[in-house]
């Protein structure tokens, strides 16, 4: 039970970090040229969807019994990975 709480806390902290990074990217996009801003705005909807999916998977994990824990944990980790990957792609685009 304690492992579950620790895991959930770490995942929630990671989500907060990613949320902050997404907010930072959106703020930077607002200050860039129109072409870059338009491109990032287009990708912002995808980021928002990935953030929401990660939140949903974490909520499912919080409510999960022991029987579903492993499968839901894998889904949450995949959602985290997808969000991290999307953020990394946009960060790389900004560095160009």
Q: How far, in Å, are 3, 22, 54, 65 from residue 41 at the CA level?
A: 38, 11, 20, 38
**Domain boundaries along the sequence of the chain:** 2-95
Q: Which CATH class is domain 2-95?
A: mainly alpha
Provide the pLDDT for residue 35: 67
The number of helix segments (H) and strand segments (E) in the chain equals 3, 0
Give the separation between CA 17 and CA 2, rounded to whole angstroms.
23
Residue 53: CB partners within 8 Å, gap ≥ 6? 79, 82, 83
pLDDT digits (tens, 9 = 90+) for 32-44: 777 666 777 777 7
Residuewise pLDDT in 10s, the chain (96 residues): 678 889 999 999 999 999 998 888 878 777 777 766 677 777 778 888 999 999 999 999 888 888 888 889 999 999 999 999 998 988 887 776
């Amino acid at each position: 039970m304690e492992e579950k709480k620790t895991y959930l806390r770490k995942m929630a902290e990671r989500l907060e970090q990613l949320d902050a990074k997404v907010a930072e990217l959106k703020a930077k996009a607002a200050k860039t040229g129109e072409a870059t801003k338009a491109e990032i705005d287009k990708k912002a909807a995808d980021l928002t969807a990935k953030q929401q999916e990660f939140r949903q998977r974490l909520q499912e994990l919080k409510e999960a019994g022991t029987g579903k824990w492993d499968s839901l944990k894998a889904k949450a980790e995949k959602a985290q990975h997808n969000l991290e990957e999307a953020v990394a792609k946009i960060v790389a685009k900004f560095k160009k």
